[in-house]
Amino acid sequence: MPEATVLAISTGVLRGVSDGGIDRYLGIPYAAPPFGMHRFHPPQAPEAWDGERNATQFGPTAPQLPYQRGMDKYLDTVEVPGDDILTVNVWTPADRDPDAKLPVLVFVHGGALTRGSAALPTYDGVTFARHGIVVVTVQYRVGQEGFAVLEDVPQNLGVLDQQAALRWVRHEIGAFGGDPGRVTVMGHSAGANTLSALLALPHAGELFDQAILQSGPLQAQPSKRAGRMTREIAKRLGVAATRAGFAAVAPPRLAAEQTALTAGGSPLGRGPSVALAIGGDAVPQNPLDALVAGASTSIPVLIGSTSEEYRLWLVPSGAVDRTRWSTVTLARVAARIPRRIVRAHRVRRPDATAGEVIGEIISDVLLRGPITRFADSRVGAEAPTYVYEFRWRSPVDRLGAAHAMELGFVFDRLDTADAVALGGPDAPQVLADAMHRAWVSFIVNGDPGWERWSPRRPVQAFDADGGHIDFAPRAEELAGLPTR
């Protein structure tokens, strides 16, 4: 039977709930609501409160529209109204020692920098907390609220939000039994992208001690290119691309205009999108460039992707079936992909369609190639790098081993509605056991249980068998990819 549990932090007293041996405190503000006088400003300190704050429900979600173009069938959108969107949620063992210093996991959700919420059922921290880990999930500004490129506004406000949340963790997590000196960050997709930007900072070690990056691009765009979406919205609305101009527009309207501009786009195109912008304190340079040059080599990293990332991007819209070989040729030339890379893909998968081949190449350019460059740059570094590839193929709607498919396995939450939508009701529990155990081991011990990256290029392949090592997979396809 759930019971109330009370705990004090620097800003006041929290009243959470204790159930099944786990205490949870939800919707805790780490910064002030980023609206009104704080809109389009860096995160500001939260106000203290009197009495007990109800911490039994998730806080409001960032302004966004639900997924569209068939993606809504597989990716759910949680909407909680309100302005207090800069919050964290904490799960911690109820029977912890009063002087406990437990390892801490901080999870940053994905959503293409335009959507997402920490309130999805799969992200519930209870499964990690059962292993003696204090879990924190983070809400941050997305879309134009967090990533508009405005003339008089710091770039990448959503990344500054995450920095504020991590400083909150360092300062407050001891009250929940966590060790502020044993913090592992974990991000998926856009969450991994933003964390790669933090990992590239000279002061990354002030924010966290280890990192898990799942299916996240390691790149940012030049400010002018990243600002195309903002400029297009300003033009459509007849406002200036400034703080005053955008602050005059209601957040739902900005989200609607942004969604309209991205409708019909795909990773094949070069239309406006929301992206990390190079410049300013949050992302002073392209993250991959800084990381390859040696940034944060003292921080252990677990990094990887799924084997068919592209299927979530191209299957729901039907683009995987509409793509012709002529499109592959045009895209290859535009992206300066050597012809031999296309041949290598066709040799490895002679039955692949044009849409599948171009999807594989997109996955290589966006994810697998940069991941390999990053890992290669850390051979012999002080801290280890571990690389994985998720290969289990879902039977749902030809999704296969698509983007986001691994989340239910990593969190060991295969029974949640959002995990079932991707993987179906019969996803292999043995694989969830293996992945969850590896992630727990990395968080607790800094070692997921397989060989660290070396010139042998060991990749832990997670399939229905629970996992095995492959050495230098996809070497032919990855050799000679453009580095931009």
* Residues with a known catalytic role: 189, 309, 403
**Cα distance between residue 350 and residue 9, in whole Å:** 59
Q: How many CB atoms lie within 10 A of CB 257?
A: 19
Give yes or no for a contact between 323 and 394, defined as CB atoms under 8 angstroms apart.
no
**How many C-beta atoms surround the C-beta of residue 470 within 10 A?**
13
User: Which distant-in-sequence residues (6+ apart) come within 8 Å of 250 by Cβ?
Assistant: none
Alpha-carbon gap, residue 349 to 230, rounded angstroms: 40
Instruction: Decide if 304 contacts 388 (C-beta within 8 A).
Output: yes
Helix residue spans in 86-156 (DSSP H): 126-129, 143-147
CA distances from 115 to 60, 143, 263, 407, 484 (A): 13, 7, 14, 16, 25
Residue type, position 117, single letter: S
240 phi/psi in degrees, rounded to 5: -75, 150
- CB of 212 within 8 A of CB of 303? yes
Measured CA angle at 168 (ends 167, 170), to 5 deg: 65
What three-state secondary structure class fits 104?
strand
CB 158 within 8 A of CB 190: no
